[in-house]
Chains A and B, each alone.
Chain A
Amino acid sequence: MIPLYEASSQFHNWRFSAQNLDQIRSSLNAAAVGVIRNTFEADQPGSSASISFLNPDEELLLVRLYASKIPQLCGFFRFPEEVEATAVSYLKRFYLKNTVMDWHPKNVMLTALFLATKTTNHPIALDAYANNIPKTTPSDVVDLEFLVAQSLGFEFAVWHAHRALWGIWLDLQSLPDAPPDRATSQRDVYEAALKHVRSSRLSDAELIYTPSQIALAALSIADPELASEWSHSKFPSESASIPHLDNTLAAIRALIEAAANPQDVEVVRAVDLRLKICKNPEKVVGSKAYLAKKAEEERKAEEKRTRKAADAPPTEGDPFGDELAGRLVDYDDDDDD
């Protein structure tokens, strides 16, 4: 029987190596720059030369900034930790399929959080959500919901490190030589470790490591001895796995500690300003490129409808059409209702 986690969509589709992540982000960035450059050029030849596009690292800075806003919003709405952690995962996963030059992380963050309330079974009415966020309309939130769900591959279940930490904490209390009052006497260690788990959310850790590895690394920052007490209870002593585990934990600790440093807001603000100029004009409602794209989409849809009508068998006699069973074209399948 395989462990539950190894049957999850997270295990199968959302774990990468650090190099993998770099590649994905670079190629997304390069593709977006190419498309946007062409769009500018189509509008006015030579106009793209002066634009300074974002590089993958700059994109990541912005994503991280907006990921760090999620806990604030969750605090305001009093959403449980599961909502917060899920929303952050969604935001990070989204930008492994899209770039910030197409979709600004502010909007995606709001949508990801709203979607996370639903997928974790803590739904809130759209109006109540949007009305409590400055300068945000309900449509700002739901317009992107489909795109976000699609980008996630409709894989809504996320395995979180804070749950794994809770499991390790319970384990520690039931070890044979655990002090009987550990639940209270060492509670502060658990709390400290939880803080490190929260910091890890702003890093790539969850895209590279398993929730339990991250949880153990967080615990090892808070109390190395307790962490090793737990790992020794899980692995036989002299196990070859222990040194290997130590290397993994060290790598995660480095990610967590780097993520705990606050971002230089001025640097990120400068990136955000540049984004205003280099973002994909096709995604800016009302722009020339946007209108051109919409017109093209409408033309294609019209073509499809005409084709469909032409393919339909000619009906004769009965003005209400033939029997349903014999009809191959399903008009209800127009998908625009």
Chain B
Amino acid sequence: MDAVEKANAERQKRWVKDQKIGEGTYAVVYRGREASSGRQVAIKKIKVGLFKDGLDMSAIREVKYLRELKHQNIIELLDVFSSKTNLNLVLEFLESDLERVIKDRSLVFLPADIKSWMAMTFRGLEFCHRNWILHRDLKPNNLLIASDGQLKIADFGLARDFADPGYKMTCQVITRCVCAAVGYSRDSDINHGWYRPPELLFGSRYYSTAVDIWSVGCIFAELMLRTPYLAGESDMDQLNTIFRALGSPTEQDWPGHTKLPDYVPIGHFTRAPLRDLFTAASVDALNLLTQCLIYEPKKRITAKDALSHAYFFAPPYPSHPSKLPKTSPPVNTTQPLDEIDGNTLSGKNNRKRKLSSSTDETKTRSAVARRLDFTKTTPGS
């Protein structure tokens, strides 16, 4: 056996696959552990033999970027090994994701909780951007949650670097594109463009870190509303949805946008104040949200500036990650989401919360809960 094969075999032996927890066309995700320590891991096995062009791009991107990025708020790639024609990525095991947390109607979010998730998201994202890496597919189910409450950005299958300013890039990113590999904790079969910024929807080929900031803005809004903020049904409808919510951009708002390759004039919506929808949000929260959702990409706030935004320094201070609302660990992770929804096991967490909450927080909670009532009954509240 060659030295390289031997080294690979040694690596392979370090990890044990225990149970399949997700499956897609090109990949299978297992729960596993490190043989020596018993540490839980997730092993994503990508079936390379199925690709006619060899190793596929999303696997290559994921490996390339995660090999370089080590940060508390980015999922850790512990090892990579191959087994015959499969590529195995050993990732830290993360039990939940932000989408599941948002959808769990038994959980109540305090403004401090939302602030904590936002801070962790921006910290991870700032690190990506500092390393010249665009994620390009941020959405709640790519923000995974560790058992200690830490939020970790995952799924770098669409990421790319942007060392050359003005370098032409593809606009087919952010969840409307074909993602073959399965999501890490469960199959990502929902390919919405809900988190795509307008410049990509207009086909811009010269884009920047601002694309990720828009996505984070959408996630911020979703954390407050507990329902996706800009949920379009197609590319065209997505723009419609955005403009209905934020007003149609004028040449002054966004110079040059009418010259973008896929520009089409869409309606004339006037901008309604965000306050009308986000009734309970603080002034600082709304200001940060507004700065994430500015039409002109150059004017959108950067991850670095967002981290020093007044929102993060005003009370209530961000919740400690360990104190954040958590989904109860699912009995069987392959269970469809709907069955986990409305799980009341974590209800005691809420009750504890209510006792210690200030009147301001209670007001927020009731405002959010009222909004939720439109869409679904909330057994936990």
A149 touches B55 (CB 8 A): yes
C-alpha gap A118/B64 in the complex (Å): 11
Stretch at the interface among B79-87, B193-201, B293-301: B79-87
A151: nearest residue on chain B (CB-CB)? B4
Task: Kindly state whether residue B2 has any CB partner on chain A within 8 Å.
Answer: yes
A97 touches B63 (CB 8 A): no
B4 touches A147 (CB 8 A): yes
A145 touches B54 (CB 8 A): yes
Task: Kindly state whether residue B371 has any CB partner on chain A within 8 Å.
Answer: no
C-alpha gap A121/B54 in the complex (Å): 14
B47: nearest residue on chain A (CB-CB)? A337
Within 8 A of B (CB), among A287-337: 324-325, 330, 332-333, 335-337
Task: Kindly state whether residue B20 has any CB partner on chain A within 8 Å.
Answer: yes
Task: Kindly state whether residue B8 has any CB partner on chain A within 8 Å.
Answer: yes
Please give, as numbers and ranges, the residues of chain B lying within 8 Å of A163 by CB-CB distance: 163
Within 8 A of A (CB), among B38-86: 45, 47-49, 52-55, 57, 60-61, 63-65, 67-68, 70, 80, 82-86
A126 touches B47 (CB 8 A): no
Which of A102, A114, A156 is in CB contact (< 8 Å) with B63?
A156
Within 8 A of A (CB), among B277-335: 332
C-alpha gap A125/B30 in the complex (Å): 31
Task: Kindly state whether residue B17 has any CB partner on chain A within 8 Å.
Answer: yes
A332 touches B53 (CB 8 A): no
Please give, as numbers and ranges, the residues of chain A lying within 8 Å of B45 by CB-CB distance: 335
A31: nearest residue on chain B (CB-CB)? B3
Task: Kindly state whether residue A142 has any CB partner on chain B within 8 Å.
Answer: yes
B84 touches A123 (CB 8 A): no
B55 touches A335 (CB 8 A): no
Of B3, B48, B86, the most chain A CB neighbours within 10 A belong to B3
Please give, as numbers and ranges, the residues of chain B lying within 8 Å of A325 by CB-CB distance: 19, 332
A150 touches B17 (CB 8 A): no
Interface size on B, residues (CB 8 A): 41
Task: Kindly state whether residue A8 has any CB partner on chain B within 8 Å.
Answer: yes
Take A126-B53, A332-B20 as given contacts and tell me if A155 and B163 are in contact as well, using a CB distance cutoff of 8 Å.
no
A146 touches B85 (CB 8 A): yes
CB distance from A24 to the nearest CB of B (A): 11
Please give, as numbers and ranges, the residues of chain B lying within 8 Å of A153 by CB-CB distance: 80
B68 touches A150 (CB 8 A): no
CB distance from A163 to the nearest CB of B (A): 7
Please give, as numbers and ranges, the residues of chain A lying within 8 Å of B64 by CB-CB distance: 119, 156-157
Task: Kindly state whether residue B353 has any CB partner on chain A within 8 Å.
Answer: no
C-alpha gap A121/B61 in the complex (Å): 8
CB distance from A129 to the nearest CB of B (A): 9
B60 touches A118 (CB 8 A): yes
C-alpha gap A4/B127 in the complex (Å): 10
C-alpha gap A154/B79 in the complex (Å): 9
Task: Kindly state whether residue A98 has any CB partner on chain B within 8 Å.
Answer: yes
Task: Kindly state whether residue A9 has any CB partner on chain B within 8 Å.
Answer: yes
Task: Kindly state whether residue B160 has any CB partner on chain A within 8 Å.
Answer: yes
CB distance from A161 to the nearest CB of B (A): 14
Task: Kindly state whether residue B28 has any CB partner on chain A within 8 Å.
Answer: yes
C-alpha gap A97/B70 in the complex (Å): 25
Of B28, B53, B80, B332, the most chain A CB neighbours within 10 A belong to B53
CB distance from A280 to the nearest CB of B (A): 9
C-alpha gap A335/B49 in the complex (Å): 11
Task: Kindly state whether residue A115 has any CB partner on chain B within 8 Å.
Answer: yes
Interface size on A, residues (CB 8 A): 39
A118 touches B67 (CB 8 A): no
C-alpha gap A325/B2 in the complex (Å): 37
A4 touches B131 (CB 8 A): yes
A4 touches B130 (CB 8 A): yes
Task: Kindly state whether residue A270 has any CB partner on chain B within 8 Å.
Answer: no
C-alpha gap A97/B19 in the complex (Å): 34
CB distance from A119 to the nearest CB of B (A): 6
Which of B17, B60, B86 is in CB contact (< 8 Å) with A119?
B60
Within 8 A of A (CB), among B226-256: none
C-alpha gap A290/B28 in the complex (Å): 33
Of A147, A150, A330, the most chain B CB neighbours within 10 A belong to A150
C-alpha gap A193/B367 in the complex (Å): 64
A333 touches B53 (CB 8 A): no
| Bitwise interface map of A from 68 to 103 toward B, beta carbon under 8 Å scored 1, else 0 | 000000000000000000000000000001100010
Which of A121, A155, A337 is in CB contact (< 8 Å) with B160?
A121
Take A118-B60, A126-B54, A145-B55 as given contacts and tell me if A330 and B67 are in contact as well, using a CB distance cutoff of 8 Å.
no
Which of B54, B61, B70, B161 is in CB contact (< 8 Å) with A7?
B70
Which of B47, B67, B85, B332 is in CB contact (< 8 Å) with A156?
B67
Please give, as numbers and ranges, the residues of chain B lying within 8 Å of A156 by CB-CB distance: 60, 63-64, 67
A124: nearest residue on chain B (CB-CB)? B53
Please give, as numbers and ranges, the residues of chain A lying within 8 Å of B161 by CB-CB distance: 121
| Bitwise interface map of A from 120 to 136 toward B, beta carbon under 8 Å scored 1, else 0 | 01010110000000000
Please give, as numbers and ranges, the residues of chain A lying within 8 Å of B7 by CB-CB distance: 150
C-alpha gap A16/B307 in the complex (Å): 38
Which of A118, A126, A149 is in CB contact (< 8 Å) with B57?
A118
Within 8 A of A (CB), among B15-35: 17, 19-20, 28, 30
Please give, as numbers and ranges, the residues of chain A lying within 8 Å of B65 by CB-CB distance: 157
| Bitwise interface map of B from 125 to 144 toward A, beta carbon under 8 Å scored 1, else 0 | 00000110000000000000
B17 touches A9 (CB 8 A): no
A332 touches B28 (CB 8 A): yes
A154 touches B53 (CB 8 A): no
Of B8, B67, B160, the most chain A CB neighbours within 10 A belong to B67
Please give, as numbers and ranges, the residues of chain B lying within 8 Å of A9 by CB-CB distance: 67-68
Q: Which 5 A-B pairs have the closest CB atoms?
A: A335-B83, A156-B64, A142-B54, A154-B80, A126-B53
Residue contacts A-B, CB under 8 angstroms, 23 given = A4-B130, A4-B131, A7-B68, A9-B67, A31-B3, A114-B54, A118-B60, A121-B57, A121-B160, A123-B57, A126-B54, A141-B54, A145-B55, A146-B82, A150-B5, A154-B67, A156-B60, A325-B332, A330-B20, A330-B30, A332-B28, A333-B17, A337-B86
Known contacts A141-B54, A157-B65, A335-B86; 11 additional CB pairs below 8 A are A4-B131, A8-B68, A9-B68, A31-B3, A118-B54, A121-B161, A149-B55, A156-B63, A156-B64, A157-B67, A333-B17
Mark A residues whose CB is within 8 Å of B: 4, 7-9, 28, 31, 97-98, 102, 114-115, 118-119, 121, 123, 125-126, 141-142, 145-147, 149-151, 153-157, 163, 324-325, 330, 332-333, 335-337
